[in-house]
Amino acid sequence: MSTERPEVVARHLRKTLLARQREFSFEEFTKLIEVLRVSSERVLTEAFFAPSKLDKGIDPVRDHLIHSYLKSISDPVSWRNECKTMLFLSTVKSNEISTHPSTIHIIGAGLAGSEAAYFLAERGFDVVLHEMRPIKKTEAHHTGQFAELVCSNSLKSKSPVSAPGIMKAEMRAIGSLILDSAETAQVPAGDALAVDRDVFALAVTEKLKNHPKIRIEHGEVTAPFEGENEITLIASGPLTSEALAGWIQSATGADDCYFYDAIAPIIEASTIDMENAFIANRYDKGGEEAYINCPMTQEEYYAFIDAVMTGEMVPTKNFEKEKYFQGCQPIEAICATGKDSLRFGPMKPVGLTNPTTGRRPYAAVQLRPENRAKTAYNIVGFQTRLKYGAQQKALRMIPALKNAEFLRMGSMHRNTYVCSPRALRPDLSLKGHPRVYLAGQITGVEGYLESAACGMLAATFIAQRLKGTHHHAPPSNTALGSLLSHLTLTEPKNFQPNNIQFALFDPKFYEGTDGMDRAELRETMSKQSPLYLQAWMKSCKEVFEKTN
């Protein structure tokens, strides 16, 4: 942790302020000088340098605060936003915020917004949940239900010795609407937590609509609510409406934060040729056999690859680059890196034995149930931007899918996100707009589970603020803390959307990990992370207490 004293940081900020005084009106400048003179100790020390109550928990915010501050003031836009936030903090004592009733507006009833709304409502806060669907639709959604899943139907691995498994354990410890709903809507998927989309969305929707502390308002919101007793959490997702995205772009000064995401096709189960397929889980994991596997010979595989690479694709706009999230690339983008790339990716045959031949196939396409009745299956990892005709031609070259009928074709959509390390404060509030918070995929997390976790984090920080307690983040030796560190501490120039993975966990924050191999290290992390989370929750227990 830095040994810089708060007064040293304040002196540095005063010096910078004097050098840039022409950027402010006389009134603003005078007030900022006064803030730094008489309030810097409270603003800096009380809000950010409060000693941790965890012996072993490493608070990433405190560890990197001074570095972030001194770095941010070299950027005029970021620095001015910091000063505007300090002006706000100087007029509001932490225990004054909770003495007046506050309304929390949450824009977007997706995974992040739904999780945040439930967390706050369960703790007695009044929440207005805004959802523009079905009044205004997006290019990917099909219903007006909350938490509608538009891409895969999987919330990743259930294994406790996996990064998603650790995060699930932490979210369950806090109390997760999304995971509770997923359990009720679960469909067989081997080692993964997959759901019936309709059952899942209905469960979330009904829970929120029937909560006495939540009011639902349908219709588009084009800007946050920033009244005296209002807080806004923008959780509008990657498909944020054009008007609201314009406000966010103006507030953050960024216009190049986007990537293209793709949706995999869904097939009617009765049209799958089971004589050319077999049911099995990879390496026989997960109990009930869930996946339909479609084997291919070497000749069939390369004929399929040629069809994908020569198929007509939906073009991107002329002024936009083709940017994809690494974990969700379309199959044609994977093929472009080499003809065998799919065979080491979505079509990898490892862990599978074709009972007809008794051997591992050359390549295999996996199909996962879409619903409990198993009347529909999605093609795992087969996101694509091929035009519909080209999709059908290529996919029907897979022997088991030669007569397939498609309930949904693959498609592309543009995902918007902000550069969180540059735009957000450590509590996920927007620099320059201290009453506005961001959560979910718009912050640069990628995946259903991660979006819900981000909503839970933002809701926790809002609750801390309204209860008049210090900002206290989960430590870096937890999955939640690791995800938060990615959002707030990554170098802005290197920031890219990411999902929860062991690459985000720092081994130095765990006890006794020196010299461990990868398997031992991950086992140790999976055991220690819940303990550190419990200690963090205990240290700020007033935030997690539910009202009757």
Domain boundaries, the chain: 6-91, 95-257+417-544, 262-413
Contact yes or no for 451/440 (Cβ under 8 A): yes
Residue 209's pLDDT is: 97
In this predicted structure, what is the pLDDT of residue 19? 57
pTM of the model: 0.69
Q: 367 has which bridge partners?
A: 292, 379
Q: For residue 307, what are its two tokens?
A: 């069809």
User: What integer pLDDT is reported at residue 8 of this predicted model?
Assistant: 54
**Closest to 504 (Cα-Cα) out of 492, 521, 490:** 490
Query: CB-based contacts of 324: which residues, under 8 Å, 6+ apart?
Result: 259, 260, 261, 262, 330, 333
Note the pLDDT of residue 99.
40
- C-alpha 170/C-alpha 511 separation (Å) is 19
Question: DSSP string covering 473-513, please?
Answer: PPPTTSHHHHHHHHHHHS-GGG---B---GGGS-GGGSTT-
* Main-chain dihedrals φ then ψ at residue 294, nearest 5 degrees: -110, 95
Q: Are strands 363-369 and 376-379 parallel, antiparallel or unpaired?
A: antiparallel
pLDDT tens digit sequence for 276-292: 999 998 887 766 678 99
pLDDT at 325: 47
pLDDT at 52: 34
Q: What is the pLDDT of residue 232?
A: 97
Considering the domain 262-413 in this protein, what is its CATH number? Answer: 2.40.30.260
> What does the pLDDT read at residue 547?
83
Superfamily of the domain at 95-257+417-544: FAD/NAD(P)-binding domain (3.50.50.60)
pLDDT of residue 53: 33
**What local confidence, expressed as pLDDT, does residue 484 receive?**
93
Task: Determine the pLDDT at residue 22.
Answer: 53
Residues of the chain with pLDDT under 70: 1-101, 139-141, 254-262, 286-288, 316-328, 412-415, 548
